[in-house]
Homo-oligomer: A and B are copies of this chain.
């Protein structure tokens, strides 16, 4: 297999690191919404500011597409909370969160809750001439703040959903700001092959995911015209992590029909974190 064709793409939330009790980035957003409402109490009229201020996780659980929430609405809440600031400021804020915030159940930093066998896979692929990309349904920039540290995956190989940017000219030169507005498509479902084309221009020969948002990407790998591997991670280890199939039903069914490999966290892994 020529090196140019050795493209591997890994979903992040639920495939490379923990996504329960809710997406890591949502905890970050809650902090931000709370800060914003402290500065401007009029914002408390809006349900997500109110929920963040009260620490009402249930409200945010309900936004999760795995639990039947609307992904676009969710991402609007996520991205709007950081619109208007410079990209450099955003990156500092995200990095600080990931260096300090801890998971409510495991008491560890979120960035340490990566799946050991998946990180080993990424390193193994890297050692064998693969270019390993992340394709996250979550925010591209958020993940880029730690991708090099936790996975050895460089920033330019992190694909994700996006707010739109703009360049403002200042006396000190161009500065990137975060504008309101989701970039279409979000990096989920049919948006994943689109963003793979935009960022890579090649089909992956290995794709790994864990939910229906990865279905299109997993199928895309089978269309590379090369020998390929589609891996679906199943969360079935409530003892060491979580057990849930919600939001993955279609892809589990498709994997069965098409012979994609299903990884059982319970049966196939010695260690989760």
Give the B-binding residues of A (Cβ under 8 A): 4, 87, 131, 140-141, 144, 148, 154-158, 162, 164-167, 169, 172-174, 176, 184-185, 190-194, 197-202, 216, 219-220, 222-223
Contact = CB atoms under 8 A, between A and B. Distances in A.
Contact of A222 (B87, B173, B197): B173
Contact of A194 (B144, B165, B169, B200): B165
A25 to B, nearest CB: 16
23 contacts: A4-B148, A140-B198, A140-B201, A144-B201, A155-B200, A156-B157, A156-B202, A162-B198, A165-B194, A165-B197, A166-B190, A167-B191, A167-B194, A169-B190, A169-B216, A172-B223, A173-B222, A174-B193, A174-B219, A174-B223, A176-B193, A176-B194, A199-B199
A88 to B, nearest CB: 10
B173 A194 contact: no
A184 B169 CA distance: 18
A202 B169 CA distance: 18
A167 B201 contact: no
Contacts of A154: 4
A40 to B, nearest CB: 28
A87 B157 CA distance: 21
Given A167-B191, A174-B219, A197 B148 contact: no
Given A156-B157, A174-B193, 12 more contacts: A140-B198, A141-B201, A155-B200, A165-B197, A166-B194, A167-B192, A167-B193, A169-B216, A174-B190, A174-B223, A176-B193, A176-B194
A156 B30 CA distance: 34
Contact of A158 (B144, B148, B201): B201
Nearest to A144: B201
Given A131-B156, A154-B4, A155-B202, A197 B172 contact: no
B201 A176 contact: no
Given A156-B201, A165-B197, A173 B131 contact: no
Contacts of A165: 194, 197-198
Contacts of A192: 167
A220 B174 CA distance: 6
Contact of A173 (B140, B174, B202, B223): B223
Contact of A219 (B131, B173, B199): B173
